[in-house]
Amino acid sequence: MPEGSSPITTPEAALQYELAAFNVLRFDPALPGDDWRAQIDHQAEWLHREGDFLEERRAAVAARAAEAPTDADGFVAWFEALEQNGPGQHDPLFPWLANEATMDQMRWFLTQEVAGEAGFEDLSALTQVKLPQQAKLEIARNYWDEMGRGNPKGMHGPLLETLAHRLGLDPRPETTVWESLALANVMAGLAANRRYAYHSVGALGVIEQTAPARATLVAEGLKRLGVPSGDRHYFDLHAILDVKHSAAWNAEAIHPLVAANPAVASAIAEGALMRLECGAACFERYRRELGL
């Protein structure tokens, strides 16, 4: 994006910047004030707008999601195949980042990714509320890994922040394309509203499943550009760890949830496809901005 130009050029872009602001308001710890009734009214208005946005995104993937089998084995096989045949999978952006991008281009890409990062640990914590034991335990194990198993140095969020800091990135809404904010807004909306609990299980699971291929190529690009291994650890780690996270999520969360209630299959499928479509839109926009 050219320096100094406003990223808000369409109603869709404006909506995503405002939804991002709503998510800050909704999730940030706060204190009670005299205006709490007005805050609830404001949030109710935004919950309606968010609902319209999420339903639009859901409608766009509903037909494909309806094709997913509803028996647990068949569903997991369908879900696993998304790694190859899902929207935006194996986008040419990533081999280019691995082999050709300059440091400035890599920095621009990472700035978008950092700004669009919704916080896997908080999304999974929100998603696990009142889920059956087996799925809940799997999400808990995943959460604990995100939290560095209790060691601040191993927490995943700060690992990404370290990279951003070392590369001098300055991720702000003004420097972020709206597609990247839309991705974070979809993830937050699915995790925050219980009617989308199963969508969120699908969206988070498909991140685990599709992250390793991308993380491997980004890590290669960072290595080629001379970024020290300690600084690029976030991507090296996810290239390996998310393979395990994905297998466990599919076996311990998705499989038993569908086995217990086949009606959740299409919801999990929709959530996964909604997340992948958001990623595909980001990659297309990134390629355009980077002149690919």
Closest distance of CB 218 from Fe ion, Å: 14
# binding residues, Fe ion (CB under 5 A): 4
For position 245 contacting Fe ion by CB under 5 A, the verdict is yes
Closest distance of CB 134 from Fe ion, Å: 18
Cα(168)–Cα(166) distance, rounded to whole angstroms? 5
The helix (run of H) or strand (run of E) holding residue 242 is helix 233-249
For Fe ion, give the closer residue by CB, 156 or 214: 156
For position 255 contacting Fe ion by CB under 5 A, the verdict is no
Closest distance of CB 122 from Fe ion, Å: 12
For position 156 contacting Fe ion by CB under 5 A, the verdict is yes
For position 214 contacting Fe ion by CB under 5 A, the verdict is no
Cα(186)–Cα(15) distance, rounded to whole angstroms? 12
For Fe ion, give the closer residue by CB, 167 or 241: 241
For position 242 contacting Fe ion by CB under 5 A, the verdict is yes
For Fe ion, give the closer residue by CB, 49 or 244: 244
If we measure between CA atoms, which residue out of 109, 85, 291, 87 comes closest to residue 218? 109
Closest distance of CB 189 from Fe ion, Å: 20
The helix (run of H) or strand (run of E) holding residue 57 is helix 36-66
**Alpha carbon distances (Å) from 226 to 98, 176, 220, 222, 230:** 12, 25, 10, 6, 11
Closest distance of CB 268 from Fe ion, Å: 17
If we measure between CA atoms, which residue out of 57, 54, 14, 121 comes closest to residue 281? 57
Closest distance of CB 32 from Fe ion, Å: 33
For Fe ion, give the closer residue by CB, 1 or 237: 237
The helix (run of H) or strand (run of E) holding residue 224 is helix 197-224
DSSP-based three-state secondary structure for 226: coil
DSSP assignment string, 107-140: HHHHHHHHHT---HHHHHHHHTTT--HHHHHHHH
For Fe ion, give the closer residue by CB, 15 or 135: 135
For Fe ion, give the closer residue by CB, 245 or 275: 245
Output DSSP code: residue 155. B
Closest distance of CB 84 from Fe ion, Å: 19
For Fe ion, give the closer residue by CB, 235 or 286: 235
Please count the residues of the chain: 292
Residue span 73-112 as binding mask against Fe ion, x where in contact by CB under 5 A, dash where not: ----------------------------------------
Output DSSP code: residue 253. I
Question: Between residue 184 and residue 213, which ones bind Fe ion under the rule CB under 5 A?
Answer: 208
Residues within the interface to Fe ion (CB under 5 A): 156, 208, 242, 245
